[in-house]
Amino acid sequence: MNTAKQNSRCSIPQTSTLNQTMVNVENLSLQMGDKHILQHVSFDLPAADITSLIGPSGAGKSSLLRCMNMLNTDWTGHIQVQHTDIRHWHGGADILRKHIGLIAQKPAVFPVSIADNVLFGLSRSQQKENTSALLQHCLQQSALWDEVKDRLDQPANTLSIGQQQRLCLARALALKPSVLLLDEPTASLDPRSKQLIELSLHELAQNIPILCVTHDLDQAQRLQGNILFMCDGKIIETADCDSLFNHPQKLETREFLRWSVCDCD
């Protein structure tokens, strides 16, 4: 299905007012064994906006997010957040991950209650503050509040996978991240929850950069912002949503938008 022809919603004016660069990725490469997973990847994320990362399975999207969060450290090149090289982040990788929230494709909840999962990364002094308001706010932002408000003390692993993924989003939001990386955040959600998450992302993106992997091209258009199209470990094309979906420049991009496949070799 050629969504580009059917849908030009991405031309809605963006609400973001900040446009200075917050994240700068320069010449990022990652090799595992003989395989080149990422090859000379370069892009910027503005201080406040959503950027959708699209591309076929195996393109390297999840690997890229893992490098940006230092879950994978074997890369070469440069990743800067607020002009600081993330390899030299003050306080190390654990502190970095509080600033750069990564919501993985497979949610990893902790074996504690729903409430404790959300508050898990907070310091003791932060936990003494008004945590019930924070808890509610983060669970509302992640479109989970209505489903869990009466069972906050129950173990988190009693939630469905889609609910666990939203719980991980709430946990990341509780730390007030300065960058949010999302790996297919709505893949296991029903349409209503998907819509609520997208609304939250629009709101969050007024203040922070969000990089969102999605296989749903309609969603990438609804999210607006910029699009990175990636295939075979390389960024093939970068453009604002309207240009990429309506006037793709590269043959590979046109093929992918039309057939959801890409042959970059």
Ligand X SMILES: Nc1ncnc2c1ncn2[C@@H]1O[C@H](COP(=O)(O)OP(=O)(O)O)[C@@H](O)[C@H]1O
- Residue that has been written with the tokens 């203040």 in this structure: 207
By the criterion CB under 6 A, which residues form the site for ligand X? 32, 35, 37, 55, 57-63
Please give the Cα distance from 97 to 31 (Å, whole number): 23
Q: Which is nearer to Mg ion, 62 or 219 (CB)?
A: 62
Q: Could you tell me the two tokens for 3?
A: 């969504």
Give whichever of 14 and 253 is closer to ligand X, judged by the CB atom: 253
60 binds, among ligand X, Mg ion, none (CB under 5 to 8 A by kind): ligand X
Nearer to ligand X, 100 or 196 (CB): 100
Helix (H, G, I), strand (E, B) or coil at 143: coil
Alpha-helix runs per DSSP H in 31-130 = 61-68, 93-99, 114-119, 124-128
Q: Minimum Å distance from CB 233 to ligand X?
A: 7
Rounded Cα distance, 111 and 185, in Å: 21
Alpha-carbon dihedral 158, 159, 161, 166, rounded to 10 degrees: -140
Distance in angstroms between the alpha carbons of the first and the last residue of the chain: 24
Please say whether the dihedral angle defined by the alpha carbons of residues 245, 237, 220 and 218, taken in this order, is positive or negative: positive
The residue among 208 and 262 lying less far from ligand X, judged by its C-beta, is: 262
CB of 234 to ligand X, least distance (A): 12
Task: Choose between 62 and 200: whose C-beta lies nearer to Mg ion.
Answer: 62
* Contact characters 46-75, Mg ion, x per CB under 5 A: ----------------x-------------
Instruction: State the Cα–Cα distance between residues 207 and 233, nearest whole angstrom.
Output: 29
- What lies within 8 Å, CB to CB, of 140 at 6+ separation is none
Buried b (16+ CB within 10 A) or exposed e, 218-249: ebbbbbbbbbbbbbbbbbbbbbbbbbbbbebe
Which of ligand X, Mg ion, none interacts with 92 (beta carbon under 5 to 8 A by kind)? none
Shortest Cβ distance from residue 43 to ligand X (Å)? 15
The answer to whether the beta carbons of residues 238 and 228 sit under 8 Å apart is yes
Partner in contact with 107, chosen from Mg ion, ligand X, none, beta carbon below 5 to 8 Å by kind: none
- CB within 8 Å of 242: residues ≥ 6 apart: 8, 10, 11
CB of 180 to ligand X, least distance (A): 17
Task: Count residues binding Mg ion (CB under 5 A).
Answer: 1
- Residue 214 found at the interface with Mg ion (CB under 5 A): no
Looking at the Cβ atoms of 36 and 137, the one nearer to ligand X is: 36
> What is the closest distance, in whole angstroms, from the C-beta atom of residue 228 to ligand X in the complex?
12
Residue 58 or 92: the one with the smaller Cβ distance to Mg ion is 58
Residue 58 site contact among Mg ion, ligand X, none (CB < 5 to 8 Å, cut-off depends on kind): ligand X
Among ligand X, Mg ion, none, residue 20 binds (CB under 5-8 Å by kind) = none
Provide the binding-site residues for Mg ion, judged by CB under 5 A: 62
